[in-house]
Structure 1
Amino acid sequence: MNKVSILALSISSILLASNVSAANQVADATGNAMGNTGVASAGYLTAPFYNPALGADFKANDDFAILIPAISVSARDTSDSLTTIDDLQTSIEKYENSGSTSTAELNKIDGYLNQLDGNQPFAVTAGIGLAIALPAKAVSSNLFARGYAEIIATTDIATDLDIVDRYTNSTVYMLAFDYVEVGLSLAKEFIISEEQFSFGITPKYQKMATYAQRVTVSDFDISNYNESEITKNAFNLDLGAMWYKDNFRAGLAVKDLLSQSIEARGNGLKDTYKLDTQVTLGLAYASEYFTAAIDGDLTKQTRFQNQNDNTQFVRFGIEGNAWDWAQLRAGYEIDLQDTLDNSITAGIGISPFDVVSLDIAGSYAGNNQFGASANLAFTL
């Protein structure tokens, strides 16, 4: 299966399935373009995705907003394993269709297995977000849903001297996590000792699912990742706080106050996915024509316990705004755990009359590591 098919699969699985997933994966092209910042710089419509306290940050003429929808997808395959597996499966099929007599194909198979031996894990992530916001001085509210899916796969290449035995005994094991949350975010502004603050809280319902599978390299198909399933439902809370001083602002967000864990089992594989409490500090400068932001994770995200896939980010982002009609954005993201390569992000926004907003973003982190997102929003 080629990479385009895999990305299409990831998006369709989120759009069509009732259980979607990911750890702090935010589908928001505005924040994605700005290095995935947003704790102190996001708008009130996407506040539940970053910091619920931002729901109280709106203009006097803002009455209603809807996000329908935001979609994101990213892929990481630094060793180009997906292409190699696709080529390997083609050679295996040709060899077996030849009556198992083609020495040339057999040598190709051995070469592809050598390429896969010791390769880094490859991963695909996709997400979606929806929101309806009603800003108000009394209490601002935002009804939202967010989901994502993470799939990670690793090759285990046999050392048999016989090439047929080698490809027969070589396997790929996949682990996947699906996540969906639905909640109501509430926020209110306060003046305390002549300083402007806002605070927010988000009660939410979570549905999580894990999958584990081990298959031979010849039978590997990433679309079959969900053949084994373990599910878990939970109630959780997000908390947020903001401080405003002229054009400067600072925010603190606590996501998933109640940490969760769920087992992944199947085909002899066993692991645990951890949805840890995530605490992030954000700083921003926001004016009519320019915004700059920096976010820093104060905690790390564990994810699969046995896969060494921990992440902890520092993010930077800027935006230039042309009279609320068009926006140009850029950013940079650094993983302090060195699981992911540093990522460059960029994007544009088009918002005629500041009523309809179309935002597009992309990210690049070196060979075979890329991402894209887009969203459509209406504000009244």
Structure 2
Amino acid sequence: MKNVIFSLVLGVGMLASANATAGDAQAGKAKAATCAACHGANGIGTADMYPNLAGQHADYIVKQLKAFKDGSRKDPLMSPMAAPLSETDMADLGAYFASMDSSGASASTDSGSAPVAVAAAPAAPKIVPDAAAGKHLYEQGDTARGITACIGCHGKDGDSLVLINPNLSNQHPEYIEKQLNHFKDGSRENAAMNQVSMNLSAQDVADLGAYFKDPAVKAVAKTGAAKGAAPVIVAGDVEKGKAISGTCVACHAADGNSLIAMYPKIAGQHEEYIAKQLADFKSGERADPVMAGMVAALSDEDMKNLAAYFATQKVTEGSGTANDIGKKLYTGGDAARGITACTACHGIDGTGMAKAGFPGVANQHVDYLKAQLVKFRSEDRANDRSKMMRNIAVRLKDEDIEALAQYMSSL
């Protein structure tokens, strides 16, 4: 079949957990002969607009090639290049590039040519990139501005532990900046990345790029950065929600911090998520005999207002105990068992992603978290998008659920 030149893009493929079919690296090398024009004979992009592929996860490479082929990711160059590729071709190409050293140092070409030098792109006008601030943003995020830490999905120093999330280490900083801007303006679609990037300023993007140019820099928060919790902005009417919340008090308490472990804390939960759950209880998509009766008389506006009220309340500290097993599963998943890291959707700090529809799990009751994971595992609860939670929970053992619930509650 035809050789391909492919340009792989930064992004988070966090809604899948299956590994790519194992490929043949030697066969991939033969099929990728002409890739050197854009990506270098050693897998290092020959220009800032072309990403490095050397050492990238094979699963991620395969996922992007499939997206180019089926049109879910659009690119005028890559779409026709990927069109004739079979799944075996994609797996072989992924295996070949994944087998390379991420620095490009260990790869060689048939001609013995040296890697092509790449000139750094100039900094944006009037913006002075700050690598230390970029590292702080990468590792800590900025909760005041709704920016989730990148480390949860892309790993320490940019080395992702989740195979469908790309490595960022040794990637062109200019390319990373370009993709962040594409996620920000919506020209590239990914629910999680669009949510995070929309809150990034041009300075933030430049700072993150600067960090990857100088990954050894010491992380320092920007001077004058916002401190403490940011005010919660809601669409519903908080006062109206409070006025009709009387029937919620028995189980969830007046401020949404339930004192009964079997009932969830809803204080500080995302407005969108609360409203969706209320609607699902009413429609029967989420089955619960108690909640079904409670929501039967609620209008769409009532649900929105109740969600706004509870979203603006402050959640109390959880009672869970941090543990290594729970932390490992939450932050890194278990690739061997097909368990995706929880950070991909719920964030490194457990605060979730409001616009993407992923709830906060930090400080939640341990018993409630365990109960929901068990329900997803047994499919007694089935109102998760695209069966994401069910596909993960079915792989969890009882001891995994216990450890995860304890860890999430402790966040």
Is the TM value for this pair above 0.5? no
TM-score, normalised via structure 1 length: 0.23
Give the number of the structure whose residues are more often strand, by fraction: 1
Which fold has the larger relative contact order, with Cα–Cα distance below 8 Å and residues 6 or more apart in sequence? Answer: 1
